[in-house]
Amino acid sequence: MALSSGIFSITFLCVDTAPLRISMLSPSSLRLSPNHPTNLRMVRAVTSAAAASSDPTTTTKTREPRGIMKPRPVSQAMQDVVGVPEIPRTQALKRIWAYIKEHDLQDPQNKRDILCDEKLKKIFEGKERVGFLEIAKLIGPHFL
């Protein structure tokens, strides 16, 4: 005898204390009602959501930055470009890009290439040209 999960979940929710047995199921308890589409998964989700939101005493703390968001000291060559002695990696990349655009150092024919000036050459291992995907890799050694 095959029962669909919708019928089983309706029967499961209606039976309070008696163990579920095939002999207990009468045709009236197995009726298919389009007006009552209860699903066990939906009931569990609503129950857990209500339990999670019922505790008003918890406060959310802002946690300290970690990983690439944590400010790190940088080398003197990097300080010349970004302007601060300690900066998160993400902000350093943003400031390097701002420096590149401010000084118009992108190749006009291929905007993906950066034409390095003297400050950028110190950061980018003395290279004349750097691809934009290389920048994140090349600034790594400058974080102390």
What percent of the chain clears pLDDT 70, i.e. is strictly above it? 60
For residue 68, the number of C-alpha atoms closer than 13 Å in the C-beta half-sphere is: 10
CA-wise closest residue to 81 among 114, 55, 108, 107: 114
Average pLDDT, the chain: 77
Buried b (16+ CB within 10 A) or exposed e, 16-30: eeeeeeeeebeeeee
- Among the residue ranges 10-24, 64-78, 118-132, the one predicted with the least confidence is 10-24
Q: Which fold has domain 67-142?
A: MDM2 (1.10.245)
Q: Where are the domains of the chain?
A: 5-53, 67-142
